Amino acid sequence: MSNVKNINRELYLKFEYASFRELEELLLAAHTREEKAFYRALLNLKLQIAQERVVGEQLV
């Protein structure tokens, strides 16, 4: 179970430190519909979190 927690934490940190530009580049480089949907979802989540910081209330 510890390995799963480490993987989850690692994935989260990669998302947390990814810039909008990096996520956009991954989206543009995606080859499949599923891959594009995945990166678009990550980009949208990143944008929502940034909006929360500006507005000062939870949106997600």
Question: Residues 6 or more apart from 1 whose CB is under 8 A from it?
Answer: none
> With pLDDT > 90 as the criterion, what percentage of the chain qualifies?
77
18: three-class secondary structure by DSSP: coil
Q: How confident is the model at residue 34 (pLDDT cuts 50, 70, 90)?
A: very high
Structure tokens at 45: 């989540």
On whether the CB atoms of residues 35 and 27 are closer than 8 A, the answer is: no
On whether the CB atoms of residues 43 and 24 are closer than 8 A, the answer is: yes
Q: How confident is the model at residue 60 (pLDDT cuts 50, 70, 90)?
A: low
For the whole model, what pTM was predicted?
0.81
| Predicted pLDDT at 41 | 97
